[in-house]
């Protein structure tokens, strides 16, 4: 029971209180670029959840059982980038064959997962903090769910903004950045919540 409550509290902490996009400002490229439609944002968020979770599991094993014993910790970033790139290519191939409509909707942003600093940031943070496998998985799942929540919320807001009267100087990216700032302030309010 203790593990279940720890798992749930960790998910809430990393998804809401320490949101990767709105608190740590990682993963802003796909957050701003793919959040025009809710369906596309949900697809991108789900792909990022899969990539972050799988890459964290694989990078934990590589770091723990290969890099540290061989004294190659300085190669951590390069190794992690290679692992993430391979996983993104796998996700891209799967989406192209299984869900071609989502593959076309994501377009150029799907390969951007490879360079998404949130994916690499989670893997490096887990390794630098010396998290065990269970804690690394809670950290990665919670962080990626936080990304999914924030990108879907942003897409929903952007869909609603399209039908509002906006001053000419705020149309396009300025209103999106203002919305992201207001969302960050709103998520900052979760910092006062204690468990």
- What per-residue confidence (pLDDT) applies to 62? 95
**Taking the chain (195 residues) in consecutive chunks of 10 residues, what is each chunk's mean pLDDT?**
74 84 86 86 86 92 94 93 88 86 76 80 92 91 93 93 86 89 86 63
How many Cβ atoms sit within 10 Å of the Cβ of residue 62? 20
- What per-residue confidence (pLDDT) applies to 169? 87
CA torsion through residues 58, 64, 69, 70, sign: positive
- What per-residue confidence (pLDDT) applies to 124? 93
In angstroms, rounded to a whole number, what is the distance separating the alpha carbons of residues 181 and 149?
16
Task: State which H helix or E strand residue 139 sits in.
Answer: helix 133-161
pTM listed for this prediction: 0.86
In angstroms, rounded to a whole number, what is the distance separating the alpha carbons of residues 21 and 150?
7
CA torsion through residues 78, 80, 83, 89, sign: negative
Q: What is the dihedral of CA 72, 77, 81, 87, to 10 degrees?
A: 70
In angstroms, rounded to a whole number, what is the distance separating the alpha carbons of residues 7 and 30?
27
In angstroms, rounded to a whole number, what is the distance separating the alpha carbons of residues 125 and 121?
6
Contact at 8 Å (CB) between 179 and 81?
no
Q: Quick one: which of 139, 134, 151, 119 has its CA closest to 41?
A: 151
In angstroms, rounded to a whole number, what is the distance separating the alpha carbons of residues 47 and 53?
10
């Amino acid at each position: 029971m203790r593990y279940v409550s720890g798992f749930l509290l960790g998910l809430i902490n990393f998804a809401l209180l320490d949101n990767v996009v709105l608190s740590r400002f990682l993963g802003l490229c796909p957050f701003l670029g793919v959040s025009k439609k809710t369906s596309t944002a949900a697809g991108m968020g789900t792909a990022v959840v899969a990539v972050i979770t799988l890459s964290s599991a694989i990078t934990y094993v590589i770091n723990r059982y290969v890099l540290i014993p061989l004294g190659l910790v300085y190669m951590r970033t390069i190794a992690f980038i290679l692992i993430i790139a391979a996983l993104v290519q796998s996700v891209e191939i799967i989406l192209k064959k299984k869900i071609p409509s989502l593959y076309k909707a994501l377009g150029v942003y799907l390969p951007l997962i490879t360079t998404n600093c949130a994916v690499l940031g989670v893997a490096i943070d887990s390794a630098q903090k010396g998290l065990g496998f269970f804690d690394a998985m809670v950290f990665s799942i919670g962080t990626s769910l936080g990304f999914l929540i924030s990108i879907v919320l942003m897409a929903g807001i952007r869909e609603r903004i399209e039908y509002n009267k906006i001053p000419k100087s705020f149309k396009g990216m300025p209103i999106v950045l203002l919305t992201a700032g207001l969302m960050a302030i709103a998520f900052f309010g979760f910092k006062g919540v204690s468990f």
